[in-house]
Amino acid sequence: MDKVIGNWLMDVAKYVATAIIIGAVFKGEEESEWYYWLSFGILAVIIATGLILLKNHEKKNSKNN
């Protein structure tokens, strides 16, 4: 289950990164700095959670072998 959720979170992180890039193209220059920091923070949390879940899955599999 950790692997599935971890992979899903990694996909969500890719979508968030894409949304940041597309949003930057369509959005003007005003108030863009806080938008990038907020998006980067959300992206970092999602990626970290996904990587932790994937690492936990690998540890569980190595203990079973």
pLDDT in tens, 6-39: 888 888 888 888 887 777 777 766 666 777 788 8
Contacts with 52 (C-beta within 8 Å, 6 or more apart), sequence order: 6
Give residue limits of the domains in the chain: 2-64
Q: Tell me, what's the pLDDT at 17?
A: 82
Rg (CA), the chain: 16
pTM exceeds 0.75, yes or no: no
Report pLDDT for 12: 87
Give the residue-averaged pLDDT of 30-49. Answer: 82
DSSP helix/strand/coil, 65: coil
Query: For residue 44, is pLDDT > 80?
Result: yes
Q: Write the DSSP string, 22-45.
A: HHHHHS-STTHHHHHHHHHHHHHH
User: Who wins on pLDDT, 29 or 45?
Assistant: 45
